[in-house]
Structure formats: C-alpha cells, structure tokens
C-alpha cells in the first residue's frame, strides 16, 4: 500500500524510478526537482550555493485568530509602517461566531477591515470562504509561494508552495525581510494506480500520515507528488490529500500540474496563473514514498492524533480493544472518558456525530459524493436518532453551486444540516459532541480536547478523522461506523461546477496597491498591544514552571483552541489560559516567577525573595558559582519532551512570554514553526538529550547565556538547583543552529525589539 525509502533516488520525467544512478551528478539532479526550482526563484540569499535560503513570498494569508496580532506586531516594530508590500489576505473563518466572547470577534473583524483599507490588504468577511479555499480560488498560481499564519497552508496541487508559520514570520515578510531556512530535503511521493470506489482523499492522506509521522520520516522536508497515479485523481481529490500533508510534519508540498489543473484555473477565471510543471528529465530526491492508490481502503484516525490510523474494518472488528487502549492513553488527562460504551453488542461501533467541513472536507466533490450516498443509501430515519451530520461547504460560491444543482437539497432532505464556510469544527468552536461522545470528522486534526471538551470540568469527548464518503455511509447507516466501500461499487457522477465570482466581488474588499493612510484603525476593548519585553540578560535563572513528560505536546495543549479564540487579540487575557488543559497550575506558578523578576528589576535583592533565597544559597555554596542580580534575569521555563505539534499559532509561545517565560527545554521540537515562534518571542529553544534531571519547582542557572548565543555556541553549561535535595548538578543545554537574524532576535528580546532597534 505505502512503502518508505529513506535512501536517495533518481526519477526520470517524474514517472519512472531508476534502479541505477544516471551519469549526471547528484547535486545537478537535485536542482531538477520542482521544489528546488520554485525556491531558487524566490531565494534572496547572497551566497548562491550556501545551502541556506532567504525566501520572499508572493502573497500572505491570515485568519481572524492571527491577523490582529500580526498587524499589532508590525505596528510595534515599525511606527511609520504604511502599506503591505505583497497581497495580504485577511480572512474571517475561525472567529466567525460573533456571539462568542461578547463583541470581541466582530471587533476583530472591523479592525481587520480597517487595516485592509489603511495598509492595502484584502479582506474576506465571515462565512464567505475558509482561508485556504479562498487562497486556492483567488491567490494561488503555478510557480508561486504563499506564506500563511495557519499550519495547513498547502496549495501544492495548484503548483504553489505553501508554508504555514506563526505570525512572526509574516511580520518579517511585511517588513521586507526574508524567511530563512536551510535548504530542505525533498522527498518524492510516487503515486500509482487508481483509488477504489468508496475511497476518498482523506483515506489516502491518513494512510500516508500513519506511515511516516511516528518516525519523523518527512519532518521539515518538502513532499513532491509525482508518478502516473496523479493523473488518475481530480484536482479536488489531490487537494484533500495535499492539505493533510501538514500532519506528516513536512515543511511544504508541491505536485506536478496537468490539464486538470489548467481547467481548474480556467473555471475560476484565472487562466493566466497556469503553467505546466514537472521535474526535470532526471531529478534526485532525498527519499521516496510510493503509494499504490488501488490498495488504499477506508481509513480512520482514532483519538487523539491524525497518525493513530486504522482501517475502518479493523475498528469494526476490534472496537472494544482499540477503545480500551485509547481510554488508557488519555486516562491521566480525562479520567471520565468512556468510549467503550459506544461498542455495539453484536460488534461494531455507534458514533454520535459527523462533520464534513473546512479546508480538507468542505470541498465540492466530497460533499457531492456524500450527498449521493445519503440520497441513495440513507434510511428514512437514519438521522432521527442521536446521530447528527453537519456539512460546511468551504466557500460561498461552492454553496451556491450546490443550491443551484440540487446537491444541497438532497442533503437537507436527508436530514443533514447545511452550514456556511467556517473552520470551527476543526478546533472546537462549534459542534462539540456530548460528554463521552465520539465525533467522526472530515477535518484536519483530532488532538486531545481540541473539539471543545473541558476535562477540568469533568467533560470529555473525542474525535476520529474519516473521509466524507465514509462519514456519509455511517450517517446513512444511522451512526453505525461504516466504510463507504461497503456501499459503493462505482464513483458518483459529480455535477459540473460553475464558479460564480459575483459573491466575492460583492463582499470582498480588495485594497492591494491602494493603501489609505488616513484611515483610522478600529480599536476596541478586546484589542491590546503587546507588552514591553526586555533584551536577553547576561545570565538567566530559570524556574521550572511546568514539567511535561508526554511523548508529544501539541499546540492545543500549550494554548487551547476553541473557547479561547475570543481572546486572541488580547495577549493578557489569552495568557490566562496557557497550558490550562495540560497543567492547570502553570499560570499561577509563572505569574509568581514573573513577580520575582519584577521585584528584581525594581531593585529588590534576590536574597530578599524567600523562594529564591534558598536556591541562591545552594548555588553560592558551590564556591565557583556566583550570581550578579543586576545581570541575571529570572524567568520561567517549560520542559516538554517534544512540544509544538500541530497549529502554527504563535500564541503557543507568546503566552508563555507574556507570563514571564524566557525558555523552553525539550528533547526535540515537534515542528520548525513552533521553534521559530519561540525565537520570534525571545524565548530560548534549549535542547536536552535524554531524560531531564529536574522537575517542577527546581531552578536552572545559565551563566553567560548572552555571550553563548552571541558566539553561536552549540553547547551551553548550566546548573540544576535541586532545592529539596540541597544539591547542584551540572547540565549541558544545547541549541540547534541559529541564523544571523535569529541570534539578533533572541539578543534583542523578541522580534518587535529587533526591528524597532534595527
């Protein structure tokens, strides 16, 4: 079905995997990949062959959880900022439920529109389109690069390399700087065969994620989709696979383009954006993944990660054992979760809810096929019981087409709830299942409690990811888990799609190239400036405020999604929720540590702070260690084995910084984007191989840290102060290679200070 080869490979014409090396050199052939050609075109590095890229993008995109922070950071960094240098799209698909959090969400929308007018941006109002669908329809182009402050920024099917990063990286682009990365490895994904009836794009995507995520096979690499199987997939089918590549932990993706892609651009009135794209005659790839599409069967990602993949047939057969394992896995965080109660006496599994939505599931073809299944196989009372099904088309033009061709009517007549373009079901801002419920969703993620459950209140629920076709098959079967291949022996005929651009022309403000500097930004009580942050001190005394030993810590656990969304424009209010689902005591501990630092800055002696007095005495008793309070900053640190899996949201880092955090310590960082977020907020991304020899409440003294960062030291000596054992233990903290800009950002204390001083 899927095989992974970590060795390099040569591919001829994007189709044939060569068994022997050609006469051409490996380095020359590596430049024949589509990824290399696009990145080279956008590279502004002065060293032509240094292996380090300084990229500038053709367009930027944010949604209403992130764009206020981006604009506020730009304004704080450059007081006289006048206009966006490239098209910057501000969409409103995350905080669209304007009643949540009082007026704050609509206040953000009004602020976004005023910023689009003032600085020449593009503003997409709520319910018109989810961020990635609008970018596909209106902004992608063959050979282009787009940077978005959302992790699922993936437009490779359309010949566009999309990168999802925290807001700080967009700020750099807006202020004329570059996105700096080592030249990434490129891995070929060679597709062959044709999917079976009943197998949708999410099935292929989940199979791929399950095959590569755990071992980090493609982490921070670019996936290049090639092979004869590409031609057997529609453009939207490819999109459904492509957008989920984020969950493999890859950096970006790119696909060969063909006449189907050309037709897609033509349908959307953008013929000029199409160019045929394929690798050169002989291209070298750093790895190879082969997928036989004909062997993929309906898949399901069980809670609590997109890589926790089974075939639906496996779950149908072994539901009690699989669910028991999930309950044991999550027991520490959600002791009341009882998914085994959903098992049916005769075998199988009864689920509570189905959702087809967002950038992955809300696509025209997936919804049309789901409608055919409901119309043809749905029992008359299939949705009369506790199971419910909601469908969110990804854009208003899609919804209109479904109304006009009768697809919407089929769904509604079957009892399906049709809703407008909204990303909420993906991150817990809508359609939260009942306590101990299980929701099946064609969305992007199913992290712990991401759907909106609150373990601190004894409320638990879970999400499994499936394709729209099998969700519809399950709905047609009254909520009993069913793979679509059990019903279908052929693919549904998809009604021709007619894109109506009038909806966009009548509702979207396009001000690019027409900044209105006299426009006043529309502030409101929920929109707050970033706090002042100090430059890095010569020495630092870290107080361990949270100690997390889970194999992976997601951004949803670092800063919850869902109910916190209304506070995204207020750094102080949002910070109150930091780690609330993983470590509820963290905020108070961090505040206490921040209070110590405030006292130090006000001239209070560290020895006068009771909690620090003992730690300092233990340190100084060593004889060779001394602390200069005037040069030593006190701050909190979070330890986690592998933090940062998931969303690009910079708040996962900035909230720690607002609370006085100045570092993370990890065995590794789950994503490049989380590490970048730490750096952009002036937080040291320390690495500590092996298990940590400290815990919550201990201290770590790092002398000479500023000098070490300035000199790009890879290993930094430090000392663990164990107050309980009255002991000091040496420890070596490591930092992976930093770019010149990253060094200066850390020394300045954050990205804002770096630009302000620049």
pLDDT confidence band for 489 (50 / 70 / 90): confident
Closest CA to 236 of 149, 133, 147, 307: 133
CA gap 450, 454 in Å, rounded: 9
Peptide bond into 748 cis (omega under 30): no
pLDDT at 612: 85
The predicted model gives 707-715 an average pLDDT of: 95
Q: Which pLDDT tens digit goes with each residue over 546-594?
A: 999 989 899 988 998 877 777 888 899 999 999 988 899 999 999 999 9
Residue 301: pLDDT band (50, 70, 90) is very high
> Cα 390 to the chain's mean position, in Å?
23
Between 37-41, 373-377, 609-613, 623-627, the lowest mean confidence (pLDDT) is in 623-627
Residue 50 has pLDDT above 70, yes or no: no
Residue 310 — very low, low, confident or very high, per pLDDT cuts 50/70/90?
very high
pLDDT at 423: 83
Higher-confidence position of 381 and 592: 592
For 654-682, the pLDDT digits (tens) are 999 999 999 999 999 999 999 999 999 99
> 281 falls in which pLDDT band (50, 70, 90)?
very high
For 380, other C-beta atoms within 10 Å of its C-beta total 8
pLDDT (0 to 100) of residue 620 = 79
Does the pLDDT of residue 206 top 60, yes or no? yes
Phi, psi of 371 (to 5 degrees): -65, -40
pLDDT at 455: 75
| pLDDT at res. 599 | 86
Task: Give the tens place of pLDDT for each residue, 122-172.
Answer: 999 999 999 999 999 999 999 999 999 999 999 999 999 999 999 999 999
Whole-number pLDDT of residue 100 = 60
pLDDT band at 368 (very low <50, low <70, confident <90, very high): very high
What does the alpha-carbon distance between residue 689 and residue 269 come to, in Å, rounded to a whole number? 53
- Does the pLDDT of residue 413 top 80, yes or no? yes
Band the pLDDT of 346: cuts 50, 70, 90.
confident
Give the pLDDT confidence score for residue 32 in this predicted structure.
93
Please say whether the beta carbons of 539 and 632 come within 8 A: yes
pLDDT of residue 383: 63
**Domains (range + CATH), the chain:** 2-55+180-295 (3.40.1060.10), 59-177 (3.30.499.10), 299-502 (3.30.499.10), 539-757 (3.20.19.10)
Which token pair is 216?
């980090």
CA dihedral 334, 338, 343, 344 (to 10 degrees): -150
What are 34-46's pLDDT values in tens digits?
Answer: 999 999 999 998 7
Q: Are strands 287-292 and 2-5 parallel, antiparallel or unpaired?
A: antiparallel
Instruction: Answer whether residue 329 shows pLDDT above 80.
Output: no
Q: What pLDDT is attached to residue 406?
A: 95
pLDDT reading at 334 higher than 70: no
Report the predicted TM-score, pTM, of the whole model to 2 decimal places: 0.93
pLDDT tens digit sequence for 65-84? 899 999 999 999 998 999 99
**Rg (Cα) of the chain, in Å, rounded?**
26
Contact residues for 572 (Cβ-Cβ < 8 A; gap 6+): 528, 531, 658
């Amino acid at each position: 079905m899927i095989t992974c080869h970590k060795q390099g490979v040569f591919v001829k014409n994007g189709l044939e995997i060569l068994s022997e090396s050609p006469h051409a050199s490996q380095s020359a052939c590596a430049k024949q990949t589509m990824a290399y050609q696009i990145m080279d075109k956008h590279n502004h590095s002065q060293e032509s062959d240094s292996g380090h890229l300084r990229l500038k993008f053709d367009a930027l995109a944010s949604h209403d959880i992130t764009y206020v922070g981006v604009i506020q950071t730009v304004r704080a960094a450059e007081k006289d900022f006048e206009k966006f240098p490239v098209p910057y799209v501000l969409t409103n698909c995350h905080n669209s439920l304007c009643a949540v959090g009082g007026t704050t969400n609509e206040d953000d929308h009004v602020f976004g529109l005023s910023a689009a007018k003032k600085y020449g941006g593009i503003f997409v109002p709520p319910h018109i389109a989810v961020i990635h669908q609008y970018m596909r329809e209106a902004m992608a182009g063959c050979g282009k690069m787009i940077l978005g402050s959302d992790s699922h920024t993936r437009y490779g099917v359309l010949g566009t390399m999309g990168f999802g990063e925290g807001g700080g990286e967009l700020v750099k682009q807006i202020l004329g700087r570059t996105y700096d990365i080592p030249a990434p490895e490129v891995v070929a994904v060679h597709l062959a065969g044709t999917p079976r009836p009943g197998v949708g794009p999410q099935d292929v995507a989940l199979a791929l994620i399950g095959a590569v995520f755990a071992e980090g096979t493609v982490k921070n690499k670019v996936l290049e989709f090639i092979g004869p199987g590409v031609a057997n997939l529609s453009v939207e089918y490819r999109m459904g696979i492509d957008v989920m590549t984020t969950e493999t932990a890859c950096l970006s993706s790119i696909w060969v383009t063909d006449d189907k892609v050309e037709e897609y651009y033509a349908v959307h009135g953008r013929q000029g954006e199409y160019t045929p794209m394929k690798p050169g005659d002989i291209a070298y790839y750093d790895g190879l993944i082969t997928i036989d599409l004909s062997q993929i069967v309906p898949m399901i990602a069980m809670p609590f990660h997109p890589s926790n993949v089974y075939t639906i047939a496996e779950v149908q057969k072994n539901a009690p054992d699989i669910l028991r394992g999930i309950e044991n896995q999550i027991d520490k965080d959600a002791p009341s979760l009882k998914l085994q109660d959903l098992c049916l006496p005769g075998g199988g599994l009864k689920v509570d809810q189905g959702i087809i939505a967002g950038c992955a599931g809300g696509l025209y073809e997936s919804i049309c096929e789901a409608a055919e299944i409901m119309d043809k196989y749905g029992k008359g009372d299939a949705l009369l019981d506790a199971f419910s099904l909601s469908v969110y088309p990804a854009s208003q033009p899609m919804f209109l087409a479904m109304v006009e061709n009768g697809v919407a009517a089929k769904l509604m007549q079957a009892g399906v709830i049709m809703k407008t373009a909204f990303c909420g079901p993906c991150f817990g801002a809508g359609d939260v299942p009942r306590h101990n419920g299980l929701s099946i969703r064609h969305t992007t993620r199913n992290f712990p409690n991401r759907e909106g459950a609150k373990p601190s209140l004894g409320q638990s629920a879970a999400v499994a990811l499936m394709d729209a076709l099998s969700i519809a098959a399950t709905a047609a079967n009254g909520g009993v888990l069913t793979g679509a291949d059990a019903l279908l022996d052929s693919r549904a005929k998809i009604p021709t799609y007619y894109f109506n651009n009038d909806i966009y022309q009548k509702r979207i403000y396009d001000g690019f190239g027409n900044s209105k500097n006299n426009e006043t930004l529309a502030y409101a009580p929920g929109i707050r400036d970033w706090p002042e942050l100090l430059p890095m001190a010569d020495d630092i005394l870290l107080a361990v405020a949270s100690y997390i030993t889970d194999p992976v810590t997601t951004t949803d656990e670092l800063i919850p999604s869902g109910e916190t969304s209304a506070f995204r424009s207020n750094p102080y209010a949002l910070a109150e929720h930091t780690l609330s689902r993983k470590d509820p005591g963290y905020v108070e501990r961090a505040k206490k540590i921040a209070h110590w630092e405030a006292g130090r800055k006000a001239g209070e002696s560290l020895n006068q702070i009771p909690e620090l007095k003992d730690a300092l005495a233990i340190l100084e008793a060593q004889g060779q260690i001394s602390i200069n309070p005037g040069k030593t900053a006190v701050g909190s640190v979070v330890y986690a084995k592998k933090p940062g899996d998931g969303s690009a949201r910079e708040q996962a880092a900035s909230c720690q910084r607002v609370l006085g955090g100045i570092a993370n310590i990890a065995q590794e960082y789950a994503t490049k984007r989380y590490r970048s977020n730490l750096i952009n907020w002036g937080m040291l991304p320390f690495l500590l191989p092996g298990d940590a020899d400290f815990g919550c409440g201990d201290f770590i003294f790092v002398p000479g840290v500023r000098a070490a960062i300035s000199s790009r030291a890879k290993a930094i000596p430090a000392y663990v102060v164990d107050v309980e054992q009255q002991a000091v233990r040496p420890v070596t903290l490591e930092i992976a290679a930093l770019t010149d800009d990253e060094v200066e950002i850390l020394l300045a204390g954050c990205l804002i200070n770096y630009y302000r001083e620049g």
